[in-house]
Structure 1
Amino acid sequence: MYLFVDQLTNVDFSYLDPKRGLVGETWLADFGLQGALDQNSMVCDFGVVKKTFRQWLDLTLDHKLLVPSQSPCLSYQLNDTYIELSWKSQRGEMTLSVPESAITLIDAAEITPQSVAHWCADQAKKLMPNSVSQLDIEFNPEVISGYSYHYSHGLKKHDGNCQRIAHGHRSTINISKNGIRDFDLERQWCQRWSDIYVGTKEDIISENDSQIQFSYQAEQGKFTLQLPKHWCYIVDTDTTVEQIAKHIACTLKQQNQQDEIKVKAFEGIGKGAIYIC
């Protein structure tokens, strides 16, 4: 008997890619379990499946940086509870020093929905009840009819895992001018923020013509990240979705002073902020 749970949850994270660099991403997670019926005529109670695997994904993938441990672009070392990482690829070089809990090393050469699903299924076997003989996991991006962008960021003031300096999202955006949806403006912003790191100006500790280094102390520890300058978009505020919506709206307002601008910015799937000016 086969039990399935489609779109069990979604995970927001960033990952390292040899061609794209630091990529913010959001995937929906589908689960399937093969097994015999138990004394309750079930493979497994849906409530148990949802709670167990949702919590596991939250701890393992969500709001983390996924790193392909077999990639030739990677070198890293563990120092107590911290990980220091260097990534050298055709798009540039990145260095990172963060608490170990902010990183998940995936035993693969590249991060793809398939490689992460295979790794997760192998790691999560220990969570299966005795009645289950096989666990299948599938990750898919949200189907978006319009445009989307991939961004990474960190929120040092956040009490939870958003404080991690290199986590991210795949998001869409709705922009209206005088009450009419403007798809051209949406396309422009999504192109501008394709695989971008949105950084806060006050978190910059050094900068030159080619590199920017960010660092801050948060509840979980000290986070330091150095990136190629062309990977970054700098704002004067925190990079919450509220401030992102406001920044985009106000930037567009400066260019269209006679118009009302409304920005509905998503953070991952089904949540976000709206700002009108």
Structure 2
Amino acid sequence: MARLFVEQLTVIDSSRLDPVDGLVGESWIVDVEIGGSLDAQGMVFDFGDVKRELKAAIDDTVDHRLLVPEQGTGITHTEDGVAVAFASRRGPIHMSGPAHTVVVVPGARVDAAALERLLQASLLPRLPGNVTDLTVHLRHEAIDGAWYAYSHGLQAHGGACQRIAHGHRSRLIVQRDGEPARDWEQYWARRWRNVYLGTRDHLVTTTERDGVSCYGFRYTSGEGVFTLELPAAACELLETETTVEQIAAHLHGEMKDREPAVRITVRAFEGVGKGALADG
């Protein structure tokens, strides 16, 4: 059997429900190996087709979605979509929205291995008949420094970012007068580890559930009506939409308020290899 490989085929930017950490933003780099017999071109699968078709299939299956474990998650199907109920150590989480924005992952926990199995099982039947084996490997970006993990939703976005609970695992680089500001980087890495960044205008309720103070968010976007309720301690409110440009500006503004006499430069990433810059 011949085999080919493609590294960094795509990046999955999604959020998952975790029994300990609650709502967790993730960015997984996807590597694949494909095995089978050679076709008439002497190929297992043309690289152009891999990069186009397989990437699209992965994105369509899990990217920019809420990934929930089959065990331990309450799922109710409604006329308008799906409602999710989940209990974590941080507190209860409830989400509702169109059905395609939620992916149920077999097992008790959503992790890289569980998602690899789901992708391999769902994607192999879509490949040409000469392809008999597919291996999907998910990995985090190797970050030598500070990083944060956040979930959010962009009501005004015309694409998948409008979904209220998708996320990213992101690098953060801060400079003070041109020199690394490791103290600020570590401060934000701790403060924004597994945080939900919500827009204040989307906050509609503040309630107590199971002894935990919770924020409730709601908005209507092009795909439909979305709601999300989760522990207030796991949230941070911004006065704007939570685009990466606004996130970088928010970080910059908070640090400049505390250190007005210095030049602060922020490189805030949105997942892997992209982001926004705020300086001054």
Q: TM bucket by the smaller chain?
A: over 0.9
Shift in Å at residue 81 of structure 1?
A: 4.3
Cα deviation digits, residues 160-215 of structure 1 (max 9, x gap): 11010000000011101111111121011011001000011110001146010000
Cα deviation digits, residues 46-89 of structure 1 (max 9, x gap): 111111110011111111111111x22x1111113410110012
Residue 239 of structure 1 corresponds to: 242
Residue 223 of structure 1 corresponds to: 226
Cα separation, 1, equivalents of 2:274 and 2:98: 28
Cα separation, 2, equivalents of 1:137 and 1:36: 19
TM-score (norm 2): 0.96
Cα separation, 2, equivalents of 1:198 and 1:215: 13
Number of equivalenced pairs: 275
Residue 46 of structure 1 corresponds to: 47
TM-score (norm 1): 0.97
Residue 272 of structure 2 corresponds to: 269
Q: Which residue identity lines up with residue 247 of structure 2 in the other structure?
A: I
Q: Is the partner of 1:145 in helix, strand or coil?
A: coil
Cα separation, 1, equivalents of 2:19 and 2:175: 36
Pair 1:212-2:211 in alignment: no
Q: Which runs of 5+ in 2 are unaligned?
A: none
Residue 37 of structure 1 corresponds to: 38
Q: Tell me, yes or no, if the aligned pair for 1:19 and 1:91 is still in contact at 8 Å.
A: yes
Q: Is the partner of 2:245 in helix, strand or coil?
A: helix
Q: Tell me, yes or no, if the aligned pair for 2:195 and 2:234 is still in contact at 8 Å.
A: yes
Q: Which residue identity lines up with residue 28 of structure 2 in the other structure?
A: W
Q: Tell me, yes or no, if the aligned pair for 1:172 and 1:266 is still in contact at 8 Å.
A: yes
Shift in Å at residue 17 of structure 1?
A: 0.4
Cα separation, 2, equivalents of 1:269 and 1:107: 26
Q: Tell me, yes or no, if the aligned pair for 2:21 and 2:88 is still in contact at 8 Å.
A: no
Q: Which runs of 5+ in 1 are unaligned?
A: none
Residue 131 of structure 1 corresponds to: 130
Residue 110 of structure 1 corresponds to: 109
Pair 1:259-2:258 in alignment: no
Residues 56-205 of structure 1 mapped to structure 2, 5 A cutoff: 56-69=57-70, 71-72=71-72, 74-205=73-204
Q: Is the partner of 1:239 in helix, strand or coil?
A: coil
Shift in Å at residue 102 of structure 1?
A: 1.0
Cα separation, 1, equivalents of 2:207 and 2:120: 43
Cα separation, 2, equivalents of 1:268 and 1:88: 26
Cα separation, 2, equivalents of 1:41 and 1:206: 60
Q: Tell me, yes or no, if the aligned pair for 1:52 and 1:127 is still in contact at 8 Å.
A: no
Q: Tell me, yes or no, if the aligned pair for 2:97 and 2:226 is still in contact at 8 Å.
A: yes
Cα separation, 1, equivalents of 2:5 and 2:80: 37
Q: Is the partner of 1:4 in helix, strand or coil?
A: strand
Cα separation, 1, equivalents of 2:26 and 2:91: 19
Moved over 3 A (4+): none
